[in-house]
Structure 1
Amino acid sequence: MNLYGVLIAPPVCTIPGNSIIYVDLGDKILNSRINGLNYLTDFSIPLSCTGSPAGVNMSINGTEASFGNKVLKASKDGLGVRFIRNGASQPINSWFAVDYRQSVALQVAPVREAGSVISGGYFNATATVTLQLP
């Protein structure tokens, strides 16, 4: 008896260059206009995959803002960043399906806790993008 077969390497997906993706929300954000829709900023996450992986998922992971709503906590109290995908909120720390053949188009907008007044000045927020293959 002679048994044989061909093993194929599993598909691999990466973000080219494993680089940091910077998204500039601007420098003229008015506290009174922060509502999760104003100051909407487009960006994309490029993907590079070997093979033809089916069922690729992505998650944007980070610390959730204390006021909830699955938005990313920013460096100023009462301030967060909302992610939007295909016109709907994309909660952080949640998996969503992506097409490995194209960049993942997203939008972000600052959001604030109801009733909060946020002090002026620089802010930032940090998240980690994770890919999941079947």
Structure 2
Amino acid sequence: MKKRLFFLLCTCGGVALAADDDITFHGTLVAPPVCTISGGKTLEVEFRDLIIDSINGDNGRKEVKYDLSCDSEIRDPDWIMTLTWTGTQTAYNDSAIETDVPGFGIELQHDGQPFKLNTPLTINATDFTQKPKLEAVPVKSVDAVLSDTTFSAYATLRVDYQ
């Protein structure tokens, strides 16, 4: 009798019960809001006359004035907003773009720090009064020999949600 009870317990104890449950997923697909920088207008930074000997990566800085606006109906505080700037990088500074004068470039800074080209900068997506202060700073390569001339440079500033 003990053998039968032991056998019965061993065979019944090895039976596993299985159950199936369905999984349902829900969500909403939304496109990030449309954002613009200064209403889509070209940002102009006028340096006027720069003294060649004073170009040292600090002198001659000019504020880049810009505004951000986004459709406020669609906004999620978990979304990450970034600013990125692009242009033709100088060989001597990864935060500066080339001008049409060899050895002379324009560095962009955010809040006093170099703003590397093609590198997204995270910004506050819910309070645009806290946007970074951008400044353009004339820079030159160590071996540059500059002479009197006009200059220009072109870059793109982009705002994105990640």
TM category, shorter: 0.7 to 0.9
Change (3 A) 1:5 1:70: closer
Give the % identical residues: 26
Shift of 1:72: 0.8
Equivalent residue of 1:17, what SS? Answer: helix
Change (3 A) 1:8 1:78: closer
Larger of the two Rg values belongs to structure: 2
Residue in structure 1 matching 2:133, options 100, 105, 125:
105
The equivalent residue for 1:23 is 45
Q: Distance in 2 between matches of 1:116 and 1:10?
A: 44
Contact 1:45–1:104 (8 Å) recurs in 2: no
User: What RMSD, in angstroms, separates the aligned Cα atoms of the two structures?
Assistant: 2.1
**1:41 is aligned to 2:73:** no
Q: Distance in 2 between matches of 1:37 and 1:22?
A: 20
| Alignment deviations for residues 62-85 of structure 1 (CA, whole Å, 9 cap, x no partner) | 000132333111110000011111
Gap regions ≥5 residues in structure 1: none
The equivalent residue for 2:13 is none
| Alignment deviations for residues 10-66 of structure 1 (CA, whole Å, 9 cap, x no partner) | 322112431100011122x11111011000111222111113253111111000013
The equivalent residue for 1:128 is 156
Q: Which has the higher contact order (CA 8 A, sep 6+)?
A: 1
One-letter amino acid of the structure 2 residue matched with residue 14 of structure 1: T
Q: Distance in 2 between matches of 1:7 and 1:61?
A: 30
Moved over 4 A (4+): 4-9
TM-score using structure 1 length:
0.85
Equivalent residue of 1:45, what SS? Answer: coil
Question: Which structure's residues are more often helix, by fraction?
Answer: 2
Q: Distance in 1 between matches of 2:138 and 2:31?
A: 42
Q: Distance in 1 between matches of 2:47 and 2:136?
A: 8
The equivalent residue for 2:107 is 82
Question: Which structure's residues are more often strand, by fraction?
Answer: 1
One-letter amino acid of the structure 1 residue matched with residue 104 of structure 2: L
Q: Distance in 2 between matches of 1:30 and 1:80?
A: 14
